[in-house]
Amino acid sequence: MLENGSKLRLSQPELNKNKVQLSKNQKNVKLQGWLKKKSPAILKGWQKRFFMLIENEGCKLVYFEDDKTNSKPKGAFEIQDNILIEQQGEDEFTIKFIGRDLELKAKNDEERKTWIETLEFCKCLSKNLKRKQLSVDEDVSKSKGSTHKKVDLQTTQIVQIEKEKMVNENFQGNKDTQKKSIFQAQQFDDNQILETLGFQQLNQNQMLKSRLVFGCLGKRSKQKMKIYKQRWFILVSAKPLFPEINDDEQVLQQSDINLELDTLIYINQNGNEKQMKRKVYLKLQNCKEIIIKNMQKSSDNGFIFKLNMGDKIYSLMTNSEKDRMKWQKGLNESMKTCREINNNLKIKIQKNINPIIRIYDMEQSLPIRRQKIKEKLELDIQRIELEQNINEQTRFQNQWDLLCCLMLIGQDMIKSIECCIVKDPQRQDIIQEYIDVYHEKICYNISEFWTINNKYLSLNEIQGFATWLFEYQQIILNYIKDVRIRQGITTLLEIYVNRWKQSAERKILVQLEECKTIQIKNRIKTVGAFELFEIIKEIEIVIDEKLNKYFKSKIVMQNIKSVLWQYLEQLYNSVEEQNNNQDFLIGVCNDIETIQEICIRLELIAEQLQENKNQEKIKQKIIGKYQEVLKLVEQEIYNLKQNDDFRQQFQMSLLDLDINKQVLEQFERNVQLMKLIEQSQKSIVERMMSQLQYYYFDSFLNQLDKINNYKRKQIETKIMEDKQIVREFLRKYNLNLQDIFDLIIQLLNSEKEQELIEVFKGLKQYFGRCFTIRTVNVIIEKLRLRKSEVNLKSLSQFDQIIKNMDEEQEYGESTQDVKSQLIEFGQQDTLILQKQDSNSSRTSKTSISKTKVMNIEELITKSQVSIDQSENMSIFEGYVYKKKARQQKLMSKWDYRYVRIRKGYIYWYLEEKSYKCQNKLNIQNVIEVVGKQNKQNKFILRMKDGKEYEFKVDKIEERNMWINGIMNEKRQQDDLQNSRIEAQQVSVNVLNILITNYDQEIIINNNNNLNNKNLNNIQKRKTTLIVGDQNPLELGQTSLKLKKTNSCWRGILVCLGLKKF
């Protein structure tokens, strides 16, 4: 009350002194009091009205005829940032709305100043609210002319609630007042009603009794006259409402009882049995608050409390204050239970954590409360162990019983942590207590069990132990971060693989001794490939039968890659040593089928271990490494089967050379005698043809200066015949003839320098580095002797052409095998080979290819980035076409609307500057956003309720950006909901290791042996280019002198998984 007696209530008494601080710290602005309002009519003058300033999606000024709690508002004005407030005369002020001027008069200047400053503050709040979020709800109480008298239902309910709250400010709930009872004490028999409804067991069960509240209440009728009718109410909650009766930790499930939980149900108990079974349900999940009415100033007989359900208010009355407090307590507890069970995180609550929280909150001292909750949690652990028959004497004797008990303890811990997360606010302190007691107890048992029994566990028990750790890690993953669990799984897997290798070594070596040779499809194959296949099969069997699907570690795949790599390295060494053993070399060629089968098995294993993303790279590396071995093997086979006088056959004149009988037929007989697979036969023939064409061209150059016009026609005819013979020979092996014969004929018939340039380009492209400027000099010199018109000055031009082509080849252009040797043509007596270290040539080739690949990858990366940028662009507001509903289709099917995506909602307006939106959609209710396949510029929103909203834009790129904008906003809202779950990091001491690897010393020794062996192999391996008259086209070979024995396989098995691929 003000000093002058006017009823002015201000919820912020410091508003006049510090408005800035008020705007920062206060959420609500509430002011009410009596003012005089000037009527628009001329004759009515000033009228006394009761005004209230409330918040309802902005500030509203509401006025009444009186200040009674049940009076309805006469009008409401919305306080926006565009209104004007002016002072006029003594104690008068005017609020200028759009279409209406509201003239008011206060009791004195101080009261007027308070109202004006509060209204100005509301204007600021409205302006800030408009900046942050557009108004999206329809409001019928707009301050436009006569519309201010139409007050919506929500505003009416809010002002009634605010009136009662202000009246009850000084009300003390524990004071009983003398009121006449509205119900007679023994008028209704509760047990009879329970029996009629079939709920008689509710009041008999002690657990249900603590969750139950029922009785007769007065419910205000819907009529205008205030009448309370008697109804019988019942409420059953999932958690105890009255812990003093029974404070258990169980959560009642809906399947446990045939009554809807946490729902206030009432019936008309005065009717017959059929009418009594008609129930009305009020879900407390929708209840916003419980309002207690001050009965000291009320004439009602009874004690009233109200349930604000959002869309409706229920007024209920009890006989006594004690009964009202009982119902209030039960309803509040049930509302909390509803919020926890129906949480936004979608966590299923399976335990009542309230008893433990009460124990923790009972004490003020932190050490005492931590000690008490620790004792309580340890008792719970002992209870679980007692139920599983686990005691101190037999705790570490049976692995499976211990792990089963520890899993139950872990599940109980997770249930408790989930209950703490859904609390408001979250109880991180209780979560930490559970981690310190439950989780550390589990880790201690695991560590002790491993320390005692690690030497005696079988492979299946180790595998089961690791599987259990993985399952435990999965259930705590979202709540607890403990690196010891992951380290323990990795250590157990390493120990498992190492012990399996040791146990399987003897068995595999026996198999290798028994399988010295093998004959498949009448083709010779080596023992090594069969041995390798058996090892891979053994690993595959172990994965299928023993390793659980939970093992997703890369260690097993590394083991297999290590075996394959060791085999290929040893095979390469063996080929170099046994280059005269024809059967062995043929067998290596034929092993390609086995290697391909192994790669297929490898892909299946990679899929089981969920590493199929890299399986194609693994296959390519293995095949690539084997191809290196094949090149060496095929060269050795070719050298063995090639006659010593092969080169001498080409020293004769081309006219005297019978290429079919002297070369091809003899070579074909040698190839047919070898039991090679088709792929290796082709490769050998290709090598032979490369050498044949090389010698053929060299023989042609040696006779080029002696060819006159008469011989030229004979030689041209001979070359065409030889070309046809070679073509028929290659057709048997499905190979194509190169154009070397055509190039020789062009060189023979070249008359002009431009023709020579084209021929030189073709020869350079075919022979690669073998064709150098020295070769061109030889050709020009021979042509000059035959044709005087050839100018030696053109050599500079030819020289530049060759250099340019050499530079092009330096950038990684593909060449044939013969191009990898630096050979120069045109020597009459012997062929000149430029000697180079094969190591340097290999290195340069690798670097060239890598440079080219990097350039291609750069282009791909750049284009991919640009594509990703365009694909990731989003639109959050703009004009689109929205499809009309069926009943609205008159002239056009589409509406042109301005759409905005804001804070989890999609709004659309008539135009960009529209104040009120036409509709809004909750993005979290969107199931999917899809673009129409046949119409690329349209997209559809499918909602959870089955509705579909179709939109259309101009281009497909714009459609994709709208879809990205909607999906990005949806992901942000989902992340906002799930962001409340944060796993707590467990502080781990360096010395506190969960699983100690007691086999580490053995593994380290094996690693050292393997590393020493690899170092010796690297030091011994040297590559040289073999230069000789007998085999001028021989590739660089390795000269490693290592014997292939069964001991190498022992080394492979011991070091399984310890060598990186």
704 and 799 in a single domain? The answer is yes
β-bridge pairing 919-922 and 926-931: unpaired
Question: What is the pLDDT, as a whole number, of residue 821?
Answer: 32
Q: pLDDT of 274-300, one tens digit each? A: 666 677 888 998 888 888 887 766 777
219 and 85 in a single domain? The answer is no
Question: 517 and 502 in contact (C-beta within 8 Å)?
Answer: no
Question: What is the pLDDT, as a whole number, of residue 998?
Answer: 80
Residue 681 lies in a domain: no
Question: What is the pLDDT, as a whole number, of residue 1007?
Answer: 63
Residue 894's contacts (CB-CB under 8 Å, 6 or more residues apart) are 881, 882, 883, 884, 952
What is the distance, to the nearest Å, from the Cα of residue 919 to the centroid of all Cα atoms in its chain?
Answer: 34
Residue 903 lies in a domain: yes
Q: Confidence band (pLDDT; 50, 70, 90) for 506? A: low
Question: 684 and 638 in contact (C-beta within 8 Å)?
Answer: yes
Burial 9-32 (b: 16+ CB within 10 A, else e): ebbbeebeeebeebeeeeeebbbb
The token duo for 141 is: 């109480």
Q: Is the pLDDT of residue 735 over 80?
A: no
199 and 288 in a single domain? The answer is yes
The domain of 303 spans 190-341
435 and 379 in a single domain? The answer is yes
Question: 924 and 974 in contact (C-beta within 8 Å)?
Answer: yes
335 and 195 in a single domain? The answer is yes
69 and 104 in a single domain? The answer is yes
Q: Is the pLDDT of residue 411 over 90?
A: yes
- Whole-angstrom Cα distance, residue 912 to residue 512? 81
What does the mean pLDDT of the chain come to? 70
Q: pLDDT of 45-76, one tens digit each? A: 888 999 988 887 678 899 988 887 777 888 88
- Whole-angstrom Cα distance, residue 640 to residue 671? 11
- Preceding omega of 425 cis (within 30 degrees of 0): yes
333 and 437 in a single domain? The answer is no
Q: Confidence band (pLDDT; 50, 70, 90) for 642? A: low
Average pLDDT over residues 309-332: 86
Pick the range with the lowest mean pLDDT from 285-289, 551-555, 971-975.
551-555
The token duo for 855 is: 């350039």
Residue 649 lies in a domain: no
Residue of higher predicted confidence among 484 and 1013: 484
Pick the range with the lowest mean pLDDT from 133-147, 551-565, 601-615, 816-830.
816-830
The helix or strand, by DSSP H or E, that contains position 64, with its residue range, turns out to be: strand 59-64
3-state secondary structure of 478: coil
Q: Confidence band (pLDDT; 50, 70, 90) for 875? A: confident
Question: What is the pLDDT, as a whole number, of residue 676?
Answer: 63
Pick the range with the lowest mean pLDDT from 116-125, 397-406, 699-708.
699-708
The size of the chain, in residues, is: 1061
Residue of higher predicted confidence among 614 and 739: 739
Query: In the chain, pLDDT over 70 holds for what percent of residues?
Result: 56
Residue of higher predicted confidence among 555 and 360: 360
Average pLDDT over residues 429-450: 92
Residue 542 lies in a domain: no
Residue 36 lies in a domain: yes
The residue from 982, 1014, 1037 where one domain ends is: 982
Question: What is the pLDDT, as a whole number, of residue 355?
Answer: 92
3-state secondary structure of 561: helix
Question: 796 and 758 in contact (C-beta within 8 Å)?
Answer: no
Q: Is the pLDDT of residue 10 over 90?
A: no
Sign of the C-alpha dihedral computed for residues 359, 360, 366 and 371 taken in this order: positive
Question: What is the pLDDT, as a whole number, of residue 647?
Answer: 58
Residue 326 lies in a domain: yes
Residue 587 lies in a domain: no
- Whole-angstrom Cα distance, residue 245 to residue 206? 8
Query: In total, how many domains does the chain have?
Result: 5
- The residue written with tokens 């570690």 in the block is 553
335 and 361 in a single domain? The answer is no
Residue of higher predicted confidence among 765 and 784: 765
Question: What is the pLDDT, as a whole number, of residue 550?
Answer: 43
Q: Is the pLDDT of residue 215 over 80?
A: yes
Neighbours of 736 (CB within 10 A): 8
246 and 315 in a single domain? The answer is yes
195 and 294 in a single domain? The answer is yes
- Whole-angstrom Cα distance, residue 150 to residue 572? 94
The residue from 493, 511, 531 where one domain ends is: 493
Q: Residue 295's domain is classified under what CATH number? A: 2.30.29.30
The token duo for 230 is: 């008697």
Residue 422 lies in a domain: yes
The token duo for 293 is: 């009415």
Q: Confidence band (pLDDT; 50, 70, 90) for 393? A: confident
Burial class (CB in 10 A: 0-12, 13-18, 19+), 800: exposed
Helix axes 773-786, 678-702, angle to 10 degrees: 40
Question: What is the pLDDT, as a whole number, of residue 1012?
Answer: 66
Q: pLDDT of 910-924, one tens digit each? A: 887 675 678 888 888
Q: Which amino acid is at 1010?
A: L
DSSP string, 1006-1018: HHHHHHHHHHHHH
Q: Confidence band (pLDDT; 50, 70, 90) for 1033? A: very low
323 and 359 in a single domain? The answer is no
Average pLDDT over residues 104-132: 81
Question: What is the pLDDT, as a whole number, of residue 812?
Answer: 42
- The residue written with tokens 């290590």 in the block is 562
DSSP string, 851-908: HHHHHHHHHHHHHHHHHHHHHH----EEEEEEEPPGGG-SS-SEEEEEEEEETTEEEE
The residue from 791, 818, 836 where one domain ends is: 836
Question: 468 and 403 in contact (C-beta within 8 Å)?
Answer: yes
45 and 149 in a single domain? The answer is yes
